[in-house]
Amino acid sequence: MLNTPQTVAIIMDGNGRWAKKQNLPRTAGHKKGADRVRDIALEAKRLGIQKLILYAFSTENWKRPEDEVSYLCKLPGLFFNKFIQELMDNNIRVTFAGELEKFPENTKAVIRKAVNQTAVNTGMELCLAINYGSQRELVLAMQNYANQVASGQRENDIQEQEVNELLFVQENVDLMIRTSGECRISNFLLWQIAYAELIFTPTPWPDFDEQALQQCIAEYQNRDRRFGGLSNED
């Protein structure tokens, strides 16, 4: 597809509100949202997107009720048990961004198994941001860099591209989408979205289907990305 964004990030918001409107428990919304990941990943691959980054679990999500957090920790297992073969069949490679250490052993094992199993794939990268927070990511990057300078491994001469290399997500984002009507970034990829196009859609994540993604891509293609320069009309 002409002018397809190479790196797309999505804040998958609205599972709980969707469930409430259906008179269902919040966990039902999370389950429906996990199934939607499969649909959007396959459609993103079909559209020619190279990397899809999904905000699956933030560093702030630990503040939610214990039973909801417990269910969220089980979702990777439910998702990969159901869809891993389909990801393999579509040559999709799974990666993650964030700190896994805080998760239960079963959750960590499931995610690492999916990463290892799909490592041979050469198609689209499906990156799950799990226990991810952009401010935390930047702090860890600064600590890493400071340690390198202090130990004499390098001079204090870092450049912008080298900052990218110290982060969980090293690509610049072309398009960021947030579902369910909220118009904020919520500590997601703050460095990487410096010149991303932003789309905030009222559609909750469980209802964000292939057509909704196509509409976002079409809107992106109609925008004039100047990166601080001038357009032909200026």
DSSP assignment of 51-74: EEEEEEEETTGGGS-HHHHHHHHH
Q: Are 55 and 10 in contact (CB under 8 A)?
A: yes
How many domains would you assign to the chain? 1
| Residue 41 burial (CB count, 10 A) | 21
- 28 within domain boundaries: yes
| Residue 61 burial (CB count, 10 A) | 16
Residue 48, domain CATH? 3.40.1180.10
- 203 within domain boundaries: yes
pTM: 0.94
Residues 6+ apart with CB under 8 A from 166: 141, 144, 145
Kindly report, residue by residue over 147-164, the tens digit of the pLDDT: 999 999 989 999 988 999
- 149 within domain boundaries: no
- 91 within domain boundaries: yes
* Token pair belonging to 186: 């919520």
Which domain range does residue 74 map to?
A: 7-133+172-221
- 154 within domain boundaries: no
- 108 within domain boundaries: yes
| Residue 159 burial (CB count, 10 A) | 8
Q: Which residues are catalytic?
A: 13, 61
Kindly report, residue by residue over 70-114, the tens digit of the pLDDT: 999 999 999 999 999 999 999 999 999 999 999 999 999 999 999
Mean pLDDT on 49-63: 97
Mean pLDDT of the chain, nearest integer: 95
